[in-house]
Amino acid sequence: MVKKYLDKISAAAALNKIKNKFGSLRTKSEVIKTADAESRVTAQAVYAKRSAPDFYASAMDGIAVKAEKTAGASERSPVKLKVGSEAQAVDTGDPIPARFNAVIKIEEINKADENHYLIEKGVPPWNHIRSIGESVVKGNLLITAAHKLSDYDLAALLEAGVTEVEVYKRPVVTIIPTGDELVTAEQDPKQGELVEFNSQMIKAALRKWGAEVNITEILADQKELIGRNMLEAAETSNLVIVLSGSSAGRGDFTIDILKNEGEILFHGVNVMPGKPLIAAAVKGIPVFGLPGYPLSAWIDNQLFIRELIYSMQADQAPNFEEIEAEVKRKIPSEIGLEEFLRVNLISDTKNKFTAVPLKRGSSAMESMLKADGILRITANKEGLHPGDKAPVMLLKDRNKIKKDLLLIGSHDLSLDLIKNEIKKRNYKFDLKLQTVGSMAGLTALRRNESDLAGAHLLDPESGEYNISYLKRFFKGQKLLLVNLVYREQGLYLKKGNPKNIKSIKDLTKSNINYINRQRGAGTRVLFDFLLKENNIKAEEISGYQKEEYTHIAAAAAVGRGSADAALGIRAAAEVMDVDFLPLEEEKYDLIIKENRLDDPRINKLIELINQAEIKTEIEKLGGYNCQETGKITKLQL
Amino acid sequence: MVKKYLDKISAAAALNKIKNKFGSLRTKSEVIKTADAESRVTAQAVYAKRSAPDFYASAMDGIAVKAEKTAGASERSPVKLKVGSEAQAVDTGDPIPARFNAVIKIEEINKADENHYLIEKGVPPWNHIRSIGESVVKGNLLITAAHKLSDYDLAALLEAGVTEVEVYKRPVVTIIPTGDELVTAEQDPKQGELVEFNSQMIKAALRKWGAEVNITEILADQKELIGRNMLEAAETSNLVIVLSGSSAGRGDFTIDILKNEGEILFHGVNVMPGKPLIAAAVKGIPVFGLPGYPLSAWIDNQLFIRELIYSMQADQAPNFEEIEAEVKRKIPSEIGLEEFLRVNLISDTKNKFTAVPLKRGSSAMESMLKADGILRITANKEGLHPGDKAPVMLLKDRNKIKKDLLLIGSHDLSLDLIKNEIKKRNYKFDLKLQTVGSMAGLTALRRNESDLAGAHLLDPESGEYNISYLKRFFKGQKLLLVNLVYREQGLYLKKGNPKNIKSIKDLTKSNINYINRQRGAGTRVLFDFLLKENNIKAEEISGYQKEEYTHIAAAAAVGRGSADAALGIRAAAEVMDVDFLPLEEEKYDLIIKENRLDDPRINKLIELINQAEIKTEIEKLGGYNCQETGKITKLQL
């Protein structure tokens, strides 16, 4: 079937089209109180309406004198000045009586008696006297047009008698969310319904950039309805955003509406996420169709709408903070497509950054929450290879990122607890977690993509945890093994155990659907071990091929009924309110390279997990045993 | 006389005292709508309340199928699927009916007839199907405590059913302006009165940092009154700022009040501007006494209050953007005092910055408006020498500063006009002006402190402008001389010329007070020339020693009656509404080093002043002749 958009253009070309068409649009101006004008942009040059000070004023606390009378004063022959006729106490800012022409600082005078000051040093005329207009001079150009007002700009304007100022209005943006399947976040979505939250995300960003934002009701996928609302919005707004429906599905009417009612600048950009973007002009007003996937919408908003919101106020968007980072693994990418990947960053002692990709996909919000930045693979590259460098747009402060610790490995709920404690206690670093499984964690540590790994890998031969795997991954190296917890592994079962599962063997029954963990996960290794121990083949387990990535997700699948059983830790069963059939106690360790033992953050972390208070908290999660938590084993492999 | 504060401490020690005392203070928390929570800081960890999606959903626009039915499909032997029982159209986000387990993209299918699709490529199970919890998983830790919420954080929370979130309240700050001499900006200050504007400046900054700010009425310098208001404010606020009265003048009661009512952390810091700062605790609440000079108050607010406003919300103040810059002249500074100097910055092709100091003084607001940054001279230094480097806290974006042009030289109103036009036309650079006089401008250009100089220096011997001075300053070098304007110089006289001044000779009359321009100003050189031509000695002119720095300031002095006459350009007379007695037409040139001719900004500037429209605007200012404006003369000196 033919797609409705075929003319995809590059990001740079798209941005150029937007700038050429709309770059000189400005909002109307309005006159507001100067006191309220911080961060607003002037529409006209501003001149001082009065001088300040407008009289000769004392610049110090002290006494006003006639300079000539102090000539020759010294410690040995001080000059005596009569209070009133020859000297008068003045504070900073006080006007200087016409008969005086200098001020002596309070520190430099003594009182001879009630009626006389003693001066031990002469002063020149105009000493410590603020000249008229010292601060601002009436008639001077204070601020040009198109200037963004700062806190001290306001001060200067008020001092100069400018109590009102003409500024560009905040751009008014109307956001129109569309989609039959969408409900608001306050509603409880039923089967087939999705929560509409993009409008609030876009609104929050636009407000930060200076816009005023209206969001209409969620509109059904009806061409006439959306068209009417869009035209209405174009009448009352400086910019209109139609959310979802920018692609080529059956309910995607935005492109047809805009073709009829306006001029299409482009439909489709070669960026990923963010491809199905529409830019159009309706009655001279920019109208954007943003894709429904949140990360697509986010990227498009940042790349294509942000600058426009600023330029409409005669302001300039700040540059994105960008760094260059190396990748240490192969990252495939389609040639001709500019790809934006969420990444974690770690920096070495030389301040070089390494980027570690998070889960892809335009709708993986959790991976966005974990990201430090967005790595950009330009359209001319067919992916990246280990050692390649690429630009990364930062989502957090560069200096903050440098201080953080990155743990890649298996998921455990105690890590979430520790991560939260570190934040609550205001340590100077965050603990970032990439939960990709034990094996992937060891691989990442070996590649220096992480500060620590977390693993619970059972050796089926020895029954020992982690050591044999570490020998394979880190031959000849020195490592620290820090025990995090011992924890119960067992089967998640639907509340009340309706299918009466009593052992691992029951999973082979024909009416039982299992859900597995991903390859390389310690829990999957354990499951395979348990199958082998019970002489069960993988093929006998219905659902062995279906994978979840975390304990919580596995427990959730059982709780929802999409599977009857899954293997995982007890704590997740408690969170998701499913039954738990304990099978094993396993060991979960943190793995750290030995040269990192003097890293204060590593020490702080180990010190934290050694606290009795933390151990109690972890054990409260359920199924945890903290007897060896914090115990360090040095390994020479 | 003994000052009330003697225990001044260093900035670092002061900040430490504040952090130790108040660093762990937090505001109370409040529950607000997630949609309104951008930039707010979480008080508790936030967990997902639901998974999203909560059903198997299509990840693409296309058709849902049973993967097994597509096995073996190819272009040569396509598979035919019946609409309804074997295939169903789905859009992105639609639920997958239970009988299907894969989606084929719309681009990859064809319709055989009304009731059948043709498939030319097989797909695996779960192809283009979003798994349950792909975006967020119920029960997962989404966001820790003490996390500042971004736009996409809000999206994830709303998707996960978290419609309300517990955040730290915005700190409430009460500002109490005090001072008998102060009036609001709306009032017209009478002799001896000053406008109170610091409260609005501090408020604008605090709001930007996340606080809610109340400003009380301006209080008279009455100890009991200020004390009562301060105690009331401490009851209802998280932080209190008393403005002015923090020093040791007769009306400065803040220190006495705080000694009685609270605990003094320190009184006085070794910073300049900003010395008379008080920090105290009243009922556990931080109370600051800020100095009355605006730039002192500004510095203290930035250095000592900013971090506290952030930490009260469990947030971290962003680092000041700082660069290192070289100075090319001697800058004196008192040892033991940390000095903050307003500077302009220019950067060379190697991206090294040079800092050029602006006027000092704690109350020179105009110089703050001109500044690019604040240069810091540490307490252990007795000033800086040419070639020394020092840190500069940036007031503008580093990349913007790099693009700007800096002109140092004589003041002319046409330069203000051009500066404003450049902004209005959205050129990619600003023209920054330091108006210090013609001679100082040439000196700065010679030291590479500026991009251009502006001068109108008459050679009394030849009657020629600038050339002979340039020969002295730039011997052996190549320069470009670009004419800016010819302009009328003459005497500013009070409206109606009450003292009947008809010529330069009348200035020697005993009832006439003159006001001069500063040494090195072209206008002063011209005045000296005119005196000489008329055989008048400087001593014969009453007021010859009194100096103003700009035409506007000189005209203002005459308008106000502090002098009877001053020499300057006609345009300033028109702005200040004084009479003007024309004496000479003089030439004002821009001077640029020849190697800058290929600088696109220089070219853009020359192109601009060559525009007829600009020349008309300049001539409208009065007293200007633009016949040679933009004319370039190449000089080999």
Chain B CB within 8 Å of residue A183 CB = no
Distances in whole angstroms, Cα of residue B237 to Cα of each of A246, A359, B283: 49, 45, 11
Chain B CB within 8 Å of residue A151 CB = yes
How far apart are alpha carbons A586 and A486 in whole angstroms? 5
Q: Which residue of B has its CA nearest to A368?
A: B152
Confidence of residue B7 (pLDDT cuts 50, 70, 90): low
Tokens encoding B31: 């529950």
Confidence of residue B87 (pLDDT cuts 50, 70, 90): very high
Task: Please report the pLDDT score of residue B571 as a whole number.
Answer: 84
Cα dihedral B77, B78, B81, B86, rounded to 10, equals 90
For A502, phi then psi, to 5°, come to -120, -20
Q: Which residue of A has its CA nearest to B399?
A: A319
Cβ-nearest to A139 among B208, B295, B552: B552
The residue among A548 and A21 whose pLDDT is bigger is A21
Tokens encoding A304: 């294509």
The span from the first CA to the last CA of chain A, in angstroms, equals 58
Task: Please report the pLDDT score of residue B504 as a whole number.
Answer: 94
At the fourth CATH level, the homologous superfamily of domain B57-130 is Molybdopterin biosynthesis moea protein, domain 3. (2.170.190.11)
Chain B CB within 8 Å of residue A178 CB = no
Instruction: Tell me the sheet residues that pair with A279.
Output: A266, A288
Task: Please report the pLDDT score of residue B249 as a whole number.
Answer: 65
Confidence of residue A624 (pLDDT cuts 50, 70, 90): very high
CATH number of the structural domain B322-402: 2.40.340.10
**Amino acid identity for residue A125 in this structure:** P
Domains of chain B, residue spans: 11-26+171-312, 29-52+134-168, 57-130, 322-402, 434-636
Cβ-nearest to A204 among B154, B202, B208: B154
Confidence of residue A45 (pLDDT cuts 50, 70, 90): very high
Chain B CB within 8 Å of residue A368 CB = yes
* Residue among A153, A162, A168, A147 at smallest CA distance from B424: A147
Cβ contact B61–A555 (<8 Å)? no
Task: Please report the pLDDT score of residue B494 as a whole number.
Answer: 95
CATH number of the structural domain A322-398: 2.40.340.10
How far apart are alpha carbons B504 and B502 in whole angstroms? 7
Q: Tell me the pLDDT tens digit for each residue of B495-537.
A: 999 999 999 999 999 899 999 998 888 899 999 999 999 999 9
Question: Please, what is the angle between helix B413-424 and helix B612-620, to 10°?
Answer: 140
Across B399-407, average pLDDT: 95
Instruction: Tell me the sheet residues that pair with B373.
Output: B343, B394
Cβ contact A294–B155 (<8 Å)? yes
Fold category of A29-52+134-168 in CATH: Molybdopterin biosynthesis moea protein, domain 2 (3.90.105)
Q: Tell me the pLDDT tens digit for each residue of A103-132.
A: 999 888 888 888 999 999 888 877 888 877
The span from the first CA to the last CA of chain B, in angstroms, equals 58
Chain A CB within 8 Å of residue B142 CB = yes
Cβ contact B134–A181 (<8 Å)? no
Other C-beta atoms closer than 10 Å to the C-beta of A553 total 26
Residues of B in contact with A191 (CB under 8 A): 54-55, 95
Instruction: Tell me the sheet residues that pair with A579.
Output: A493
* Residue among A425, A433, A334, A441 at smallest CA distance from A384: A334
Confidence of residue A1 (pLDDT cuts 50, 70, 90): very low
- Helix locations, B93-242, DSSP H: 151-159, 198-208, 223-236
pTM, two decimal places: 0.91
Instruction: Tell me the sheet residues that pair with B346.
Output: B354
The residue among A254 and A491 whose pLDDT is bigger is A491
Residues of B in contact with A131 (CB under 8 A): 548
Judge whether residue A249 has pLDDT over 70: no
Cβ contact A197–B158 (<8 Å)? yes
Judge whether residue A431 has pLDDT over 50: yes
Confidence of residue A68 (pLDDT cuts 50, 70, 90): confident
Q: Which residues in A610-636 are b (16+ Cβ under 10 Å) and which e?
A: eeeebbebbbebbbbebeebbeeeebe
Distances in whole angstroms, Cα of residue A132 to Cα of each of B10, B434, B493: 33, 20, 18
Cβ contact A197–B159 (<8 Å)? yes
Task: Please report the pLDDT score of residue B2 as a whole number.
Answer: 43
How far apart are alpha carbons B103 and B123 in whole angstroms? 8
Confidence of residue A553 (pLDDT cuts 50, 70, 90): confident
Please say whether the beta carbons of A419 and A402 come within 8 A.
no
Distances in whole angstroms, Cα of residue B625 to Cα of each of B414, B424, B456, B488: 11, 24, 14, 8
Please say whether the beta carbons of B485 and B465 come within 8 A.
no
Q: Tell me the pLDDT tens digit for each residue of B14-49.
A: 999 999 999 999 999 999 999 999 999 999 999 999
Cβ contact A136–B366 (<8 Å)? yes
Task: Please report the pLDDT score of residue A130 as a whole number.
Answer: 83
Judge whether residue A3 has pLDDT over 80: no
Please say whether the beta carbons of B568 and B554 come within 8 A.
yes
Across A367-392, average pLDDT: 95
Please say whether the beta carbons of A372 and A345 come within 8 A.
yes
Residues of A in contact with B424 (CB under 8 A): 144-146
Specify the residue for token string 């090294």: B352
Cβ contact B134–A106 (<8 Å)? no
The residue among A556 and A314 whose pLDDT is bigger is A314
Handedness of CA B66, B69, B70, B72 (dihedral sign): positive
Name the minimum distance, in Å, from the CA of A527 to any CA of chain B. Answer: 22
Distances in whole angstroms, Cα of residue A134 to Cα of each of A65, B62, B200, B394: 20, 72, 21, 24
Q: In whole angstroms, what separates CA A250 from the centre of its chain?
A: 35
Handedness of CA A539, A545, A549, A550 (dihedral sign): negative
Task: Please report the pLDDT score of residue A139 as a whole number.
Answer: 85
How far apart are alpha carbons B285 and A546 in whole angstroms? 58
Task: Please report the pLDDT score of residue B248 as a whole number.
Answer: 67
Across B125-142, average pLDDT: 84
The residue among A42 and B110 whose pLDDT is bigger is A42
Chain B CB within 8 Å of residue A317 CB = no
Specify the residue for token string 């020849």: B594
Cβ contact A399–B365 (<8 Å)? no
What is the β-pairing status of strands B547-548 and B172-177?
Answer: unpaired
Cβ pairs bridging A and B (under 8 Å): 332
Residues of B in contact with A132 (CB under 8 A): 556-557, 560, 562
Helix (H) and strand (E) counts for chain B?
A: 17, 36
Tokens encoding A625: 């045993």
How far apart are alpha carbons A54 and A101 in whole angstroms? 16
Q: In whole angstroms, what separates CA B151 from the centre of its chain?
A: 26
* Residue among A286, A273, A210 at smallest CA distance from A17: A286
Please say whether the beta carbons of B604 and B408 come within 8 A.
no
Cβ contact A141–B420 (<8 Å)? yes
Q: Tell me the pLDDT tens digit for each residue of A167-182.
A: 999 999 999 999 988 9
Helix (H) and strand (E) counts for chain A?
A: 17, 36
Tokens encoding A607: 């010190």
Radius of gyration of chain A (CA): 34
Task: Among B168, B194, B306, pick the best mutation site for testing chain A contact (most A Cβ within 10 A).
Answer: B194
- Return the percentage of chain A with pLDDT > 90, whole number: 71
Judge whether residue A36 has pLDDT over 90: yes
Task: Please report the pLDDT score of residue B354 as a whole number.
Answer: 97
Cβ-nearest to B365 among A110, A135, A181: A135
Residues 6+ apart with CB under 8 A from B576: A138, A139, B492, B552, B555, B556, B558, B559
Handedness of CA A36, A40, A43, A49 (dihedral sign): positive
One of 1.10.10.10, 3.20.20.70, 3.40.50.1000, 3.40.980.10 is the CATH number of B11-26+171-312, namely 3.40.980.10
The residue among B280 and B571 whose pLDDT is bigger is B280
A571 three-class SS? helix
How far apart are alpha carbons A432 and A437 in whole angstroms? 15
Residues 6+ apart with CB under 8 A from B545: B516
| Interfacial B residues in 450-489 facing A (CB < 8 Å) | none
Chain B CB within 8 Å of residue A153 CB = yes
A376 three-class SS? strand
B308 three-class SS? helix
How far apart are alpha carbons B239 and B233 in whole angstroms? 8
Cβ contact B152–A369 (<8 Å)? yes
Please say whether the beta carbons of B493 and B566 come within 8 A.
no
Cβ contact A205–B151 (<8 Å)? yes
The ipTM of this complex is 0.91
- Considering chain B, what is the average pLDDT of its residues? 92
Task: Please report the pLDDT score of residue B606 as a whole number.
Answer: 96
Q: Tell me the pLDDT tens digit for each residue of B143-169.
A: 999 999 999 999 999 999 999 999 999
Judge whether residue B5 has pLDDT over 70: no
Across B227-248, average pLDDT: 92
Cβ contact B192–A3 (<8 Å)? no
Cα dihedral B391, B393, B395, B396, rounded to 10, equals 60
For A331, phi then psi, to 5°, come to -125, 110
Is B434-636 in CATH node 3.40.190.10? yes
How far apart are alpha carbons A437 and A435 in whole angstroms? 6
Chain A CB within 8 Å of residue B215 CB = no
* Residue among A94, A33, A44 at smallest CA distance from A64: A94
Tokens encoding A145: 């047009």
* Residue among B33, B306, B316 at smallest CA distance from B164: B33
Across B264-293, average pLDDT: 94
Is A438-636 in CATH node 3.40.190.10? yes
Task: Please report the pLDDT score of residue A2 as a whole number.
Answer: 43
Specify the residue for token string 């008068």: A88
Judge whether residue A510 has pLDDT over 50: yes
